[in-house]
Amino acid sequence: MDFELSQDEKLFKESVHEFLSNELAPRWISMDAQRSIPTELINRMGEQGLFAIPVPEEYGGQGGTFLLAALAVEEVAYNDPAVATAVFTLLNNAWPYILYLYGNEEVKQEVLPLVGKGRGFFGIASTEPSGGSDVAGESTVAVKEGLIYKITGEKTYISGVRESMEQLELGGWYLIARTAPPEAGHRGLTGFAFIGNRKGERPPNFEYSILHTIGRHAISTGTLRLNGTPIEQKYLVGQENRGFYIAMEGFSLARVLVSAANIGAAQWALEAAIDYARQRRLFGGRPIASFQGVSFPIAEVASRLQAARLLVYKAAQIADKIYIKKETGLRPHDLDFWASAAKIEAVEIAFKAAEVAMKTYGAFAFTEEANVFRNLLGVLSYLVGAEGTQNIMRYIVARELIGRDYVKG
């Protein structure tokens, strides 16, 4: 049993860290304050090979692994602890791979090379105003007319809307719509590669808006509205009425990378707390680190973070066994436990690390000058539900551990 990364993985992580320490770390605060990821930074990250990492090279990807993708996302979040750039990065690794697995050949060639180069975006559009956890209850409808599907519905809390629609050459999402009556439940859902922007051109009967979030400001969160918006049949991802199952695969892969983002952000918060505890002096010049009320919470975060990191890497390795190495006896479903368990631990230690950092800073943490609040609000987005609430993660772990016959929704 080896807990070490390979030499190639270590070198990859080091090269990504070096690039981001120069290109991202110096401006994450201004990006969060100005609510924007510069287009040229996205382009540079694409040139560096940080997007579509598991997608084969013949489709414009990097031909890498999910563990490499996790290492990249971890470094992005460490260098942007508000996690906005990490959200952009993880989405453009997980969902392009789903398109690679199940998409039409022509559509894959249209979308994936642009994503890999940092000139396109491909995320997920499943959440509706009625709620995000009940994917089987989606109400967006796709009606087939010949070789065209006309889609009507609303998707909200969608990441990357401004970037897709206003900054990049191509912007799209894996969009889920109902193609069978509501009584069909999850068996009546279909996934589409919905392209909202092609070099400034938008499909008919489609509009979008940007929401005002309280954190991770640099990446936009918005709403997509479709009113009979046409999508050609070739943009169907997988078979009709199989969209739910494909989405579940995508969510598990995305959750592995979400977990990686959170351990990167947690590492930043931990180091911020340590540095301040060493520098801040009270009671005759003693560093506050000398007080157990300060040092013990830091020690707890460090211990839990190491455990969470190993769990995240394990989940990424399971993903690689299933999808990259294609080991016999493993199915996509076998990732569910590991992805959900990783998200439980990584998200909660990230929030704890941010809390400990703020308490270590004391009153200074409540100022914009400290910038610790940006980290807290960024990881909060995952604590309250992005890519699945923590209670949904617990439900999945319980279901996989105890059995579906015993743990029912």
Residue 24 and residue 160 in one domain: no
User: Which CATH number characterizes residue 391's domain?
Assistant: 1.20.140.10
Domain-ending residue, one of 105, 120, 135: 120
**Is the same domain home to 116 and 130?**
no
What is the DSSP secondary structure assignment for residue 332, as one 8-state letter? G
355 and 257 share one domain? yes
In tens digits, what is the pLDDT along the chain, a chain of 409 residues? 778 999 999 999 999 999 999 999 999 999 999 999 999 999 999 999 999 999 999 999 999 999 999 999 999 999 999 999 999 999 999 999 999 999 999 999 999 999 999 999 999 999 999 876 777 778 899 999 999 999 999 999 999 999 999 999 999 999 999 999 988 888 999 999 999 999 999 999 999 999 999 999 999 999 999 999 999 999 999 999 999 999 999 999 999 999 999 999 999 999 999 999 999 999 999 999 999 999 999 999 999 999 999 999 999 999 999 999 999 999 999 999 999 999 999 999 999 999 999 999 999 999 999 999 999 999 999 998 878 889 999 999 999 999 988 997 6
Which of 93, 120, 147 terminates a domain? The answer is: 120
Residue 270 is part of which domain span?
243-402
Domain contains 341: yes
For residue 409, being part of any structural domain is answered with: no
Tokens of 150: 């006309």
- Rounded to whole angstroms, the Cα distance separating 3 from 1 reads 7
Predicted pLDDT at 130: 82
Domain boundary among 101, 120, 139: 120
The verdict on residue 198 lying in a domain is yes
CATH assignment at residue 135: 2.40.110.10
User: Same structural domain for residues 150 and 227?
Assistant: yes
Is 225 in the same domain as 350? no
Tens digits of per-residue pLDDT, 200-256? 999 999 999 999 999 999 999 999 999 999 999 999 999 999 999 999 999 999 999
- pTM value is 0.96
Q: What is the pLDDT of residue 409?
A: 61
Residue 2 lies in a domain: no
Write the CATH number for 51.
1.10.540.10
Q: Which helix (H) or strand (E) holds 344?
A: helix 336-361
Q: How many domains does the chain have?
A: 3
Alpha helix (H) ranges present in 80-205? 84-102, 105-116, 161-162
Spell out a b/e string for 218-240, using b for 16 or more CB atoms within 10 Å of the CB, else e.
bbbbbbbebeebbbeeebbbbeb
| C-alpha of 254 from chain center | 5
**Residue 56: count of CB within 10 angstroms of its CB:** 15
* Residue 367 domain-assigned (yes or no): yes
146 and 85 co-located in one domain: no
Tell me, yes or no, whether 210 lies in a domain.
yes
Domain assignment present for 22? yes
Q: Is residue 262 part of a domain?
A: yes
Cα–Cα distance for residue pair 69/74, rounded to 1 Å: 9
Which pLDDT belongs to residue 199?
Answer: 95
Asked if residue 391 and residue 275 are part of one domain, the reply reads yes
Indicate the SS3 state at residue 226. Answer: strand
Q: Residues 255, 359: one domain?
A: yes
330 shares a domain with 284: yes
> Do residues 21 and 152 both lie within one domain?
no
Q: Is the dihedral of CA 220, 30, 199, 250 positive or negative?
A: negative
Contact 50, 76 (CB under 8 A): yes
Q: DSSP string covering 242-303, please?
A: -HHHHHHHHHHHHHHHHHHHHHHHHHHHHHHHHHHHHH-EETTTEEGGGSHHHHHHHHHHHH
Tell me, yes or no, whether 115 and 130 share the same domain: no
What pLDDT sits at residue 385? 80
254 and 279 together in one domain:
yes
Phi, psi of 170 (to 5 degrees): -140, 135
